[in-house]
């Protein structure tokens, strides 16, 4: 009598989309490494990275058939909740950089609402020096760390910027944007418009394309051996 042995799916057959709520402080690549280890799948990518200081939706693409679709997912619009700290400018445009300017000026709510009109619809944005964008084959942040600043061409993006609350020095915004938008640059440019300087203090991605934060797996679940990750896959 033959005994039927349990069959386990080949790594090549494990594929789909896993939505993860990245926590502040972890890197996007650490999620890729964790999934490779847990699923034993080499081909894993994502539909847009998040800086370590940011949190929120990471669309993880599992398997060759899904990593091939990365451009399709990268092109989708994204939505963020951003906290902008007014009065302090940093070299990285976020809370992890060195302070380059401080101001005692406190903009009024009316000034803020007026300034936000400049961050609606199709606008031009200059990529920040501290970014992974390449110029001459070298990433901008590599040049910035060498103390070099180079000219960058403005990029056309689409924005919807919504006011949430203002409790000086913190301004909270909801931003819907197209591919290639730097939320750090929005914070910096807004500070220039308000003549007080600003940087991005906190950032949470709440949506990437049609995938929303409430449908994401927590990082605690991601690392838990008791959670069957394949049961959490979504398909598109």
CATH number for the domain that contains residue 113: 3.30.2350.10
64 phi and psi angles, rounded to 5 deg: -60, -40
Domain annotation covers residue 161: yes
- Is 187 found in the same domain as 127? yes
With a CB cutoff of 8 Å and minimum separation 6, the contacts of 40 are 11, 14
Domain shared by 193 and 219, yes or no:
no
pLDDT in the model for residue 138: 84
CB atoms within 10 A of CB 177: 21
* Domain shared by 35 and 86, yes or no: no
The pLDDT value given to residue 147: 87
Distance CA 188, CA 192 (A): 7
Proportion of the chain above pLDDT 90, given as a percent: 77
Residues 98 and 215 reside in one and the same domain: no
The alpha helices in 40-165, defined as continuous H runs, are: 64-67, 70-74, 109-116, 140-145
Distance CA 160, CA 79 (A): 9
Q: Is residue 86 part of a domain?
A: yes
pLDDT of residue 50: 92
pLDDT number for residue 12: 55
**Within this chain, do residues 93 and 177 fall inside the same structural domain, yes or no?**
yes
Residue 58 CB: number of other CB atoms within 10 A?
Answer: 26
The partner residues of 18 in beta bridges, in order of sequence, read 60
Half-sphere exposure of 125 (CA within 13 A, CB side): 27
The number of folded domains in the chain is 2
Pair 24, 71 in one domain: yes
Examine the domain organization and report whether 172 and 134 are in the same domain: yes
pTM of the predicted model as reported, rounded to 2 decimal places: 0.90
Of 39, 74, 61, give the one whose Cα is nearest residue 234: 61
> From the candidates 51, 77, 94, 189, which is the catalytic residue?
51
Q: Is 51 a catalytic residue?
A: yes
Residue 134 maps to a domain: yes
In a shared domain, residues 158 and 96: yes
User: Is 6 contained in some domain?
Assistant: no
Is 131 in the same domain as 203? yes
In a domain, 44, yes or no: yes
Bridge-based pairing of strands 99-102 and 88-90 is antiparallel
- What is residue 19's three-state secondary structure? strand
Q: Look at the block and give the residue holding tokens 């290639």.
A: 180
d(CA 83, CA 94): 10
Domain that holds residue 62: 14-75+210-232
End-to-end CA distance of the chain: 43
Question: Which residues on neighbouring strands pair with residue 203, listed in sequence order?
Answer: 82
For residues 154 and 89, state if they share a domain: yes
Structure confidence at residue 3 (pLDDT): 38
> For residue 7, what pLDDT is reported?
42
Question: Which residue positions in the chain have pLDDT lower than 50?
Answer: 1-9
Tell me, yes or no, whether 136 lies in a domain: yes
Cβ–Cβ < 8 Å for 19, 57: yes
Q: Are residues 62 and 93 in the same domain?
A: no
């Amino acid at each position: 009598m033959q005994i039927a042995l349990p069959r386990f799916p080949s790594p090549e057959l494990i594929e789909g989309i896993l939505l993860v709520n990245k926590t502040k402080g972890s890197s996007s690549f650490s999620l890729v490494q964790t999934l490779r280890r847990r699923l034993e799948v080499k081909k894993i990518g994502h539909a847009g990275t998040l800086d370590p200081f940011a949190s929120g939706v990471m669309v993880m693409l599992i398997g060759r058939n899904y990593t091939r679709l990365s451009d399709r997912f990268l092109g989708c619009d994204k939505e963020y909740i951003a906290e902008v700290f007014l009065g302090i400018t940093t070299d990285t445009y976020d809370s992890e950089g060195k302070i380059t300017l401080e101001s005692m000026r406190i903009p009024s709510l009316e000034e803020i609402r007026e300034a936000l009109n400049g961050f609606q619809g199709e606008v031009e944005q200059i990529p920040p020096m501290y970014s992974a964008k390449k110029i001459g084959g070298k990433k901008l942040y590599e040049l910035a760390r060498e103390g070099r600043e180079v000219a960058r061409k403005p990029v056309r993006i689409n924005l919807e910027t919504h006011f949430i609350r203002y409790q000086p020095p913190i301004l909270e915004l909801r931003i819907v944007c197209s591919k290639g938008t730097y939320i750090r640059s929005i914070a910096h440019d807004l500070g220039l418009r308000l003549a007080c300087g600003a940087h991005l203090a906190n950032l949470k991605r709440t949506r990437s394309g049609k995938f929303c934060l409430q449908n994401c797996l927590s990082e605690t679940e991601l690392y838990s051996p008791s959670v069957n990750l394949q049961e959490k896959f979504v398909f598109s």
